[in-house]
Structure 1
Amino acid sequence: METREILGLSGAEVAERMTDGRRNVLPPSAGKTTWDIIRTNVFTRINAILGVLFAVVLTTGHWIQATFGGLIVVNSVVGIIQELRARKTLSELTILGEEHPQAWRDGELVELEQSEIVLDDVLHIGAGAQIVVDGEVLDSQYLDVDESMLTGESDPVHKAPGDTVMSGSFVVSGSGDYQVTKVGADSYAAKLTAEASKYSLAKSQLQAGINQILKIITWVLIPVGILIVVSQVRQPGTQTYSDVVLRIAGALVPMVPEGLVLITTTAFALGVIRLGLRKCLVQELPAIEGLARVDVVCADKTGTLTENTLEFGDFELVGALGEERAREGLAQLAAADPDPNVTMKAVANELGAPERLWEVVERQPFTSAKKWSGVSFANGEHWVMGAPDVLASGTDVERRATELGDTGLRVLLVGRASVPVTAADAPGQLEPVGLITFVQKIRPDAGDTLDYFARQDVEVKVISGDNARSVGAVTSRLGYDAGTTVDAREIGDDEFAEVVNGNRVFGRVRPDQKQAMVKALQGEGHTVAMTGDGVNDVLALKDADIGVAMGSGASATRSVAKIVLLDDKFATLPYVVAEGRRVIGNIERVANLFLTKTIYSAMLAILVVLAQVPYPFLPIHVSITGWFTIGIPAFILSLPPNNSRARDGFVKRTIRFALPAGFIVGAVSFTTYLVTSGGWNVPQEHMRESTAALLALIIASTWVLACVARPWTWWKITLIVLPLVGYGVFFFWGPAQWFFSLDSSNASMMLTGAGFGLLGAGLIEALWWIVKWSVGIRPTFWKTTPFFDRDENGRISL
């Protein structure tokens, strides 16, 4: 190895490369630029339809009738603001959660931001580290790299000096140094970062359902729109250009579900912001929704239920070697590890550094598959440390280790091997030396989190590489009903799926078994979330429906996970579940409102065409109902907590209620229109008849809101009642009647409208009961729930 390779780049060399652009310029941390966000919120299909109708109505000179154009501004501004806030939150969290590589600079190892890496830098990597830029290996200390994200091959690849390492892979075991050969856009990391940081709604069942609803609406809107245009143009009698345009706009505007897409995007964006306040990085927005659908959580014990640190407990001799010599050998073993894990760090902190280091000949890094590590020294001694049930299976030493493990301690065996640690049959005949115990600190919030999942009918399976009985002891301390603790080494291939689905706590699980367990659970129809923090969790995290990584864990786990808990709080998961349920449940509510409005608008248009009568409503009329019965209530209903468990079949459930409800609202409104007109001959001036029909529509559609908002709370009652008070002002206050083109002077017509409206409300109430009972849901009228979430300090959480 050349001197320059050992020292790395000098300050002058780094400055030169920074100046001429040979640095690792990363892509933007969020998937959308500001212009992208503006463009996607302003130039939408719905805004285009409303914009054309708005422009046409303005040509009539009736600017009051064009108030629906405000929807374009509101839709765009709200969507832009929420997406910008979500992008800012994502960017800040991504910086916190990204990998910080170590580089040799002027002979010293320093930590860098990824953007500070330059071409020819020498980076140091150890177990669990992510390869962030491409390069060539200069020094390899048993360096094994997982390239499965690039090649699909899950077996680790040994890397020797001269071999290439690619960004997107990660270190399984060993350590080494490599020289950077590609940076910025030339590196695979640029593509990986750009893909990971996008907040897209792709693969969202909810968004797929919304798109399906919009397709249905489009197929209805186009032919009905053409028919209504032809119908109103051909109306008999004296008609002005303004009359025709206003009737056509009045028919077409309410058919457009202008707020549905906005509220869906806003709800997801708010989810990112809310979870960001809890230091939870959502790398893919559908993960919020996905975790709400999860019915099985596979939790790794270490780093999830227990803290990712170990405290040295005791060292119990089990062999003939004296204590002084045993402690010396253990200290040398810890000192010889160039990249110590938490176990070796605990040993080193307890025993301290030896006065004189033994010369290292061979080294065998720890892997989850072997369950042991070791070092061969020049004095002919081969020291190993690992799992007692692997190194001393069936002996008194294993039985003693089991006794200690049953108390919840983590136990490792230290011994001397008869062959070099890199030999094919290593460790050969083992001479046990001593048992080390470590105290595992249980996370204070782990018990409450397990209780939450139990109440929500989400099964938690504890999967660990540690001794099975030790894992069982930890779960017992949490008060978790674990049942029989299973040693994964004893599970046969033919019974694997049955055992995995039938038990809750597993020990001695290999990384490939964790992955197989996830697949076995998914094979039984479960939606699986996998939590983890170590490099041995990566394969399972990738295959799980939702991968959840701890922020302090290996960077490889963070890179493949869809959710990263930056503060390592397992207790954040219930908030993620709750946020997903809020989004799904509330969007389903508001989708009922928007779809009902589209259905009754389309039905009114069809009935008008068939009856060959003027359309009853003006654009200002549909603006009233659009804002106060649909738009504002829908936006508010999308915000509060919603603990309803996410279920499949969103579109089917929405149509089941909204379709007949829309028919009822349209029918009572049109019937009122005809009855107050005295039959099919609707007069040319029909403001009083339209006012009565609008009253029937408002009463019936308000009851749709009342049903959708259940179970009621004080603020939901207020949400329903306040618009009715406003409608009273619109209908009976002179200046408001003039502004909104209403005439309520005929009491008989108004009573008729109220009567048909109440009839529609009664039919909608009956429909709500029928729909609920048909799917086996017991209706609930009242429930005391807060509008806002509160954090652990009692403060309102947005």
Structure 2
Amino acid sequence: MSAEQTVVVPETGLSAAEVAQRVADGQTNDVPTRASRSVWDIVRANVFTRINAIFGVLFLIIMSTGYFLDGLFGGLIVANSVIGVIQEVRAKRTLDRLAIVGQTKPRVLRDGVSKEVAPNEVVLDDVIEIGAGDQIVVDGELLYGEALEIDESLLTGESDPVVAGPGDPVLSGSFVVAGGGAYRATKVGREAYAAKLAEEASKFTLVDSELRNGINKILKFITYLLVPAGALSIYNQLSGDQALPEALRGMVAALVPMVPEGLILITAIAFAVGVTRLGKRQCLVNELPAIEGLARVDVVCADKTGTLTENGMRLSETRVLDGDESVSFALAALAAAEPRPNASLLAIAEAYPDDPGWEISDVVPFSSARKWSGVSFADNGNWVLGAPDVLLAADSAERAVAERIGSTGLRVLLLGRCALPVSSPDGPGEVVSVALVVLEQKVRPDAKSTLEYFAEQNVTVKVISGDNALSVSAVAGSLGLPNAGDAVDARTLPTDPYRLAETVAAGTVFGRVTPAQKRAMVGGLQSKGHTVAMTGDGVNDVLALKDADIGVAMGAGSPATRAVAQIVLLDNKFATLPHVVAEGRRVIGNIERVANLFLTKTVYSVLLALMVGIPGLIGFDALPYPFLPRHVTITGWFTIGLPAFVLSLAPNNERARSGFVARVMRMAIPAGVVIAVACFVSYVLTYPGAGASQTQIVQAGTTALITVIALALWVLAIVARPYTWWKVTLVAVMAAASALMFVLPLTQRLFLLDPSNGAYTWIAVACAGVGIVLIEASWWIGAKLRGEKPAFLPEN
């Protein structure tokens, strides 16, 4: 159907019976409201894991020997699965509930009544009404439109809006930038592009996360180490003179600690707890890595309207310029001509509610690119309402008055007459000033404290707005934003990408920014190496939100902004953003801490297995592995498992940095090497060799265990820095619990520990002492090489 053909617009839309028939026929937009995993998928993903499979096989081997106490590590299978399932289900329910609250709901016409429905309730042939800021939820054919402009840049990359007329196709995933109309749904469900967009935008996922990718890279490397170390351990234990059950116990004890079994669990828990915490603050996280990404942000680009100021406006003053008595009628007529008015027109309509009934002949709706709207009336001329600095010449006296008023933080619109019809290609042409419409915006009460928080955290805030630069400057200045007085008019910005990036990086406040410029400014900052978050609520923010590293939309914003943003603040509070940043920093900082513990254990376990196994491989007497599986379990409890869980949920406000893998390995490798060597030395010095009695073997193993636990606790003490009272308490409790394992008769019997040989114990203390000095020295040297200043206590 071409745009010139007559289009019959249904007056009532589908009837209830027609809707029911289409539902019965499966002709629905059957896209899940949220693409999170089902509970069964979560259970399956947490139970049937590679790590659980490894531990399950080792557990069965130990059970076959009859030494059931050595199978304590099997509890990790249950713990990993149960805790992972509980936390992810909690996070899923939180996200699903918030997704329904923040869901974009299209307005459909049924039985002559316009009503909002969920996206998945749209059926084939539904008549869907659209206006500025609405997202096209399904593919369709336009029935009618009034100056309708649709942005398809998210689909095609083309930044210029498309003027749409009756009969034109509309594609889901695009959004309306100006005008209004209605279209009939021709493709619904998974046939429409929106299905893919919505599915990707609301998925509960950990993909594309530097943290997650770093952990996977580490685990991949560890897998390569496990193969030779594991094979050597199996050969060494089974080729010695030990009985088969003893050899199997040693083999399992060597293999179990090589796997950083809790690292993935702790990571999943930390993210899931973060999502749940933010959910309680009415913060919807559409993409889980957004928590991590916002923690890495060093520049926040904030829109003024709806972010620093509240959405609502109030008419402060109408300053008539030429004594025209039709000002009140014109304003009322302009407000009534827009079926879906923006905040400015709503304020005008509230002040001038009596529509004079002027006959409309032409309409140009407001758009962020034009900065004005206009209506041509059949008998009352052509009128425009918009930015004075766009509609008037630079030397205009009225423009100077408007800028002086705007410099106080008020929004000023010009009401003017124009000679040309508003939709004329050369329109509006010369504008005759009739009145200045002064609007007040209320600054959010939490905006100042939020900006102060970002300043304290060394996060730069840039205000990027479509409003007059002087008005934006006044608002930013009232909030104490540094350099707010040096506002930049975006119409003077260079088009060259390099020069634009330099200008944007140097400036703080920008006014009269078009949607395309917002997008280019975000790209310019990213090209300078910045991690950029963009906040906004209007359709003019969509492109920038999409391109920013993290897009943050207000819950009351346009449906299009909510659809493309990774984070939606459903309570519309800018002050929620610091909580999101803090949550991300807590997650990343704490996972890095606990990763040091897990990977240090992996390094010393692999190296110790190699050290114990190599002598037997090259012709010397085979050494039995010094530990039993039960020893590995208690070491993991007190030096890694329990403290890691506490540290992963603790406050942490250090800004996230890139290079996670390198930093963790710089700590884990030296510490792991020292622990492995110290443990091996203490073991060799106390193991009497072939023919040793069971008591001597137990005493030698106990000596090695004391060495390992002492050094592992010291690594915990380093990871816990800078110290607070609860961290000191945590380390002290873990040290005391570990010591009690060696001195209580019950635990000595249960865990086969014998520290009664004083000479051996002193050897353990000496080896541990040397190891502590070396680990501490490596920590100080490493910090100095990285240009960091080690701190024992938090900075005031």
Q: TM-score, normalised by structure 1?
A: 0.95
Matched, 1:614 2:624: yes
1:339 Cα deviation after fit: 1.7
Letter in 2 for 1:205: E
1:496 Cα deviation after fit: 2.2
Q: Secondary structure of 1:384's match?
A: strand
Q: Which residue of 2 aligns with 1:578?
A: 582
Aligned pairs for 1:262-281 within 5 A: 262-281=265-284
1:682 Cα deviation after fit: 6.0
Q: Which residue of 1 aligns with 2:666?
A: 656
1:293 Cα deviation after fit: 0.9
CA-to-aligned-CA distance 1:384-411 (integer Å, 9 cap, x gap):
1000011112200000001110111000
1:3 Cα deviation after fit: 7.4
Q: Which residue of 1 aligns with 2:491?
A: 489
1:762 Cα deviation after fit: 2.6
CA-to-aligned-CA distance 1:672-716 (integer Å, 9 cap, x gap):
111122579866650011011101111111000000011112221
- The 8 Å contact of residues 29 and 91 in structure 1, kept in 2 or not, is answered as yes
Matched, 1:121 2:121: no
Query: Could you tell me how far apart the structure 1 residues matched to 2:715 and 2:250 are?
Result: 25
Query: Could you tell me how far apart the structure 1 residues matched to 2:236 and 2:524 are?
Result: 60
Q: Secondary structure of 2:721's match?
A: coil
Q: Secondary structure of 1:7's match?
A: coil
- Runs of 5+ unmatched residues, structure 2: 1-5, 616-621
Range with greater deviation from structure 2 (656-665 or 719-728): 719-728
Q: Secondary structure of 2:261's match?
A: coil
- The 8 Å contact of residues 677 and 683 in structure 1, kept in 2 or not, is answered as no
CA-to-aligned-CA distance 1:15-60 (integer Å, 9 cap, x gap):
3333443333222513312222112111111111111111111110
Query: Could you tell me how far apart the structure 2 residues matched to 1:758 and 1:708 are?
Result: 18
Query: Could you tell me how far apart the structure 2 residues matched to 1:503 and 1:102 are?
Result: 41
Aligned pairs for 1:475-514 within 5 A: 475-481=476-482, 482-494=484-496, 495-514=499-518
Letter in 1 for 2:14: L
Query: Could you tell me how far apart the structure 2 residues matched to 1:745 and 1:556 are?
Result: 72
1:728 Cα deviation after fit: 2.7
Q: CA distance change for structure 1 residues 590 and 682 in 2, over 3 Å: closer, same or farther? A: farther
Query: Could you tell me how far apart the structure 1 residues matched to 2:388 and 2:692 are?
Result: 92
- The 8 Å contact of residues 7 and 167 in structure 2, kept in 1 or not, is answered as no
Matched, 1:757 2:771: no
Letter in 2 for 1:557: T
- The 8 Å contact of residues 101 and 123 in structure 1, kept in 2 or not, is answered as yes
Range with greater deviation from structure 2 (115-124 or 17-26): 17-26
1:483 Cα deviation after fit: 4.4
Letter in 1 for 2:122: I
Letter in 2 for 1:220: L
Matched, 1:588 2:573: no
1:735 Cα deviation after fit: 2.1
Aligned pairs for 1:538-549 within 5 A: 538-549=542-553
Range with greater deviation from structure 2 (174-183 or 357-366): 174-183
Q: Which residue of 2 aligns with 1:537?
A: 541
1:733 Cα deviation after fit: 1.8
Range with greater deviation from structure 2 (607-616 or 447-456): 607-616
1:320 Cα deviation after fit: 4.1
Query: Could you tell me how far apart the structure 2 residues matched to 1:326 and 1:711 are?
Result: 66
1:285 Cα deviation after fit: 1.1
Q: Which residue of 1 aligns with 2:618?
A: none
- The 8 Å contact of residues 299 and 460 in structure 1, kept in 2 or not, is answered as yes
**Structure 1 residue aligned with 2:114, among 109, 120, 142?**
109
Q: Which residue of 1 aligns with 2:454?
A: 453
- The 8 Å contact of residues 7 and 166 in structure 2, kept in 1 or not, is answered as no
Q: Secondary structure of 2:300's match?
A: strand
Q: Secondary structure of 1:30's match?
A: coil
Q: Secondary structure of 1:254's match?
A: helix
Matched, 1:350 2:351: yes
Letter in 2 for 1:190: A
Could you say what the CA RMSD is over the residues aligned between the two structures, in angstroms?
A: 1.6
Aligned pairs for 1:14-163 within 5 A: 14-27=19-32, 29-163=34-168
**Structure 2 residue aligned with 1:676, among 686, 691, 712?**
686
- The 8 Å contact of residues 614 and 682 in structure 1, kept in 2 or not, is answered as no
Identity across the alignment (%): 55
Range with greater deviation from structure 2 (167-176 or 110-119): 110-119
Q: Which residue of 2 aligns with 1:793?
A: none
Range with greater deviation from structure 2 (108-117 or 431-440): 108-117
1:426 Cα deviation after fit: 0.9
Query: Could you tell me how far apart the structure 2 residues matched to 1:26 and 1:111 are?
Result: 17
Query: Could you tell me how far apart the structure 2 residues matched to 1:39 and 1:152 are?
Result: 39
Q: Secondary structure of 1:530's match?
A: strand
- The 8 Å contact of residues 674 and 682 in structure 1, kept in 2 or not, is answered as no
CA-to-aligned-CA distance 1:748-780 (integer Å, 9 cap, x gap):
212222232233223222222222222222222
Range with greater deviation from structure 2 (756-765 or 650-659): 756-765
**Structure 2 residue aligned with 1:227, among 232, 248, 257?**
232
- The 8 Å contact of residues 295 and 459 in structure 1, kept in 2 or not, is answered as yes
Q: Secondary structure of 1:686's match?
A: helix
1:93 Cα deviation after fit: 1.0
Query: Could you tell me how far apart the structure 2 residues matched to 1:112 and 1:525 are?
Result: 43
Query: Could you tell me how far apart the structure 1 residues matched to 2:501 and 2:87 are?
Result: 44
1:128 Cα deviation after fit: 0.3
Q: Secondary structure of 1:259's match?
A: helix
- The 8 Å contact of residues 578 and 642 in structure 1, kept in 2 or not, is answered as yes
- The 8 Å contact of residues 30 and 90 in structure 1, kept in 2 or not, is answered as no
CA-to-aligned-CA distance 1:370-393 (integer Å, 9 cap, x gap):
111000011050011000011112
Q: CA distance change for structure 1 residues 308 and 28 in 2, over 3 Å: closer, same or farther? A: closer
CA-to-aligned-CA distance 1:321-343 (integer Å, 9 cap, x gap):
23xx1111111111111221111
Query: Could you tell me how far apart the structure 2 residues matched to 1:484 and 1:233 are?
Result: 76
- The 8 Å contact of residues 252 and 629 in structure 2, kept in 1 or not, is answered as yes
Q: Which residue of 1 aligns with 2:338?
A: 337
Q: May I ask how many residue pairs the two structures share in their alignment?
A: 780
- The 8 Å contact of residues 452 and 574 in structure 1, kept in 2 or not, is answered as yes
1:202 Cα deviation after fit: 1.4
Query: Could you tell me how far apart the structure 1 residues matched to 2:659 and 2:198 are?
Result: 34
- The 8 Å contact of residues 530 and 540 in structure 1, kept in 2 or not, is answered as yes
- The 8 Å contact of residues 31 and 195 in structure 1, kept in 2 or not, is answered as no
Q: TM-score, normalised by structure 2?
A: 0.96
Q: Which residue of 1 aligns with 2:731?
A: 720
CA-to-aligned-CA distance 1:257-308 (integer Å, 9 cap, x gap):
0001111111111111111111111111111111111111111000110011
Matched, 1:729 2:740: yes
Query: Could you tell me how far apart the structure 1 residues matched to 2:51 and 2:652 are?
Result: 28
Letter in 2 for 1:268: F
Matched, 1:437 2:447: no
Q: Which residue of 2 aligns with 1:374?
A: 374
Q: Secondary structure of 2:10's match?
A: helix
Q: Which residue of 2 aligns with 1:363?
A: 363
Letter in 2 for 1:101: P
Q: Which residue of 2 aligns with 1:632?
A: 642
- The 8 Å contact of residues 278 and 572 in structure 1, kept in 2 or not, is answered as yes
Q: Secondary structure of 2:65's match?
A: coil
Query: Could you tell me how far apart the structure 2 residues matched to 1:716 and 1:680 are?
Result: 44
Q: CA distance change for structure 1 residues 682 and 382 in 2, over 3 Å: closer, same or farther? A: farther
CA-to-aligned-CA distance 1:640-688 (integer Å, 9 cap, x gap):
1111111111111111111010111111111111112257986665001
**Structure 2 residue aligned with 1:286, among 289, 312, 316?**
289
**Structure 1 residue aligned with 2:221, among 212, 216, 219?**
216
Query: Could you tell me how far apart the structure 1 residues matched to 2:739 and 2:457 are?
Result: 43
Query: Could you tell me how far apart the structure 2 residues matched to 1:551 and 1:221 are?
Result: 49
1:353 Cα deviation after fit: 2.3
Q: Which residue of 1 aligns with 2:253?
A: 250
Q: Which residue of 1 aligns with 2:385?
A: 385
**Structure 2 residue aligned with 1:305, among 308, 311, 314?**
308
- The 8 Å contact of residues 33 and 100 in structure 2, kept in 1 or not, is answered as no
Range with greater deviation from structure 2 (163-172 or 104-113): 104-113
